[in-house]
Structure 1
């Protein structure tokens, strides 16, 4: 989403990232969703990853306005899906680290325990669970405690379906060092968890990580493969869309059921994946 919005001329150097455009230019978010559906996507993931009630209020919104903008993210994705004529809408539930805007979604270095994380997520969770989204996409989850918090919230919403994808530091562990196998097991016995897997992670780790997930369909949508320099604010190591699509074939062979792309992937990456897997 953010990669496409930047390509369409938007400066997202902001704590709210792409969520800022829910207020400033919702039509460009609609265009981004359209571009991915046209490229062959089956699922639109909403622009609510970094849209939190406290985050929006920190920027001057009232609580009611913050809730309206978060709900709007689902409405926009649903409009694009309806215009396309098929597909699903996954309401993005970003991690606490996205609100902190300090990179903690890649470390799990939090100042809240499981109870605190449950309370922090609760209002947005119930808001998104009450929309017309087909499911919630709990994304870039870096910590075992946050996984436990999300499982508790799932118990509070008996009609909602979710997928859970973790940010991972290597071939076997999520960002806080917990084995992915153990983090995924938090959701064992939850029939409304439609998939568990990995996102916002280097593609080279994906085949091994897929094998760490038992008893669930596996969702994978890694980064493009580029490396980010946080000091310079630049990316290096551009990955061609066809190279990414070739890797997706291997992920499918390793057992992934849902495949896409995260940071720095474009509609061309999705078009390539669609062509290869078809």
Structure 2
């Protein structure tokens, strides 16, 4: 019995150490490096919306709240290591606001809560009405940026992510970029396009692991204690995504990364 209790105590101590180690406060130097990246992301993407009647619908980052994680050993990963920006056409944003205001006026808390959420492109493609899905897909753009990723998974069976097609595309200032069409999945999300630009020390080294993941692996030079790579995913029709890609100074973004 004592032996079992001792084992359980050791497991608990290790678990507590692991949880504590997952997120540690960043140093001022690390925060400065992160803020440099985020400010350039804001400079590039907020100032370069698609052509037409678009407005910023939502922006999210952990700017000023950076923490570091060592859950991958020597590769440090940022907790909340994302920058996200959503555009909507003005007409769509106005319609959504009108629905929220109407719900508030009649005390419809359910609709209020639903409309207070960011309408991501995954939500768009879950719409049951195909016509509405098409309209919303043309009026919503999500730009999601992940930092210091160890891999980029084109396909991941465990999360039911499968690609109907994918290809490498040329993007000035980026070592690797992809155009991907994802298959519909069991959650009801329809087939959808993604354009992905990878910055940092990425190689065109697509591989498949025993779990069925098709992925590109990243090789860190500095151990990942600073921001060494970015994965920029643009969830939008390819023509809209291509327009955004052409407007962005990818070299300027790359210059913010630790070399």
Note whether the superposition's TM-score is higher than 0.5: no
Which structure: greater helix fraction? 1
Using the size of structure 1 for normalisation, the TM-score is 0.24
- TM-score (norm. length: structure 2): 0.25
Higher relative contact order (CA 8 A, sep 6+): 2
Look at both structures and tell me which one has the larger radius of gyration over its CA atoms: 2
